[in-house]
Amino acid sequence: MSATGDGAIGDRAIGDAAMDRIFREARTHNAWQDRPVDEADLRALYDLMKFGPTSANCCPARILFLASSAAKERLRPHLIEGNVDKTLAAPVTAIIGYDTLFYEKIPQLFPHNPGARDWFAGEEKTGNVTAFRNATLQGGYFIIAARSIGLDCGPMSGFDNEGVDREFWPDGRIRSNFLCNLGYGDPSALFPRSPRLEFGEACEVL
């Protein structure tokens, strides 16, 4: 591959097979094969996603992996009806949350400027916006990392955030953002892929 300016992909690209796996052929799954996801897979997923960039390396995302039936039952009352069956059937459901006091770890994560903690401490609005934005970015890295190690994803809203927070993070420090089912999807249950916007509909070069 070469960068020619005519739409060709540069020679540092990861290759078509990887791009297909992560983006072009990847789908959101709602049905799952009866195949477990090991804790080693979850650790490998995190060890990839953690390298994605965040503001001042603040890394505000916090993740609960619900892998047991008991944990899923705690989640069940907070799901909309249409998300119950597919969530209970998934080998693992991740709750992607964000730490509103993420800045307490900035001296550890941003050691060349530990004073960056003060950019956010005591600035509730700035801190909450930073936490939510960057944890959402990390949620995107989470999906890419999961697909990279061979897992399928079913990211979703459709749940009671406040109820989930009371159940799993009752001290109020961490707040839920979205859920993501993980496992090996059943391709026979997929419907045709929905369209996407073309470059000219979504982008402008100035």
What is the Cα–Cα distance from 65 to 40, expressed in whole angstroms?
Answer: 12
Closest CA to 60 of 103, 111, 119: 103
Which tens digits make up the pLDDT trace of 21-77?
Answer: 999 999 999 999 999 999 999 999 999 999 999 999 999 999 999 999 999 999 999
Contacts 24+ apart (CB under 8 A), 169-176: 169/97, 172/100, 173/99, 173/100, 173/101, 174/62, 174/97, 174/98, 174/99, 174/100, 175/97, 175/98, 175/100, 176/95, 176/96, 176/97
pLDDT at 8 over 90: no
Query: Topology of 24-190 in CATH?
Result: NADH Oxidase (3.40.109)
pLDDT of 53 reads 98
Q: Is residue 6 over pLDDT 70?
A: no
One-letter amino acid identity for 18?
A
Q: How far apart are CA 195 and CA 203, in angstroms?
A: 16
Task: Quote the pLDDT of residue 7.
Answer: 57
- The ranges assigned to domains in the chain are 24-190
In angstroms, how far apart are the furthest CA atoms of the chain?
A: 55
Q: Which of 168, 159, 178 shows the shortest CA–CA distance to 61?
A: 178
Q: What are phi and psi of 85, to 5 degrees?
A: -60, -45
Provide mean pLDDT across the span 154-166: 98
pLDDT at 5 over 50: no
Q: d(Cα 34, Cα 9) in Å, to the nearest integer?
A: 38
pLDDT, one tens digit per residue, over 89-138 is: 999 999 999 999 999 999 999 999 989 999 999 899 999 999 999 999 99
pLDDT of residue 2: 39
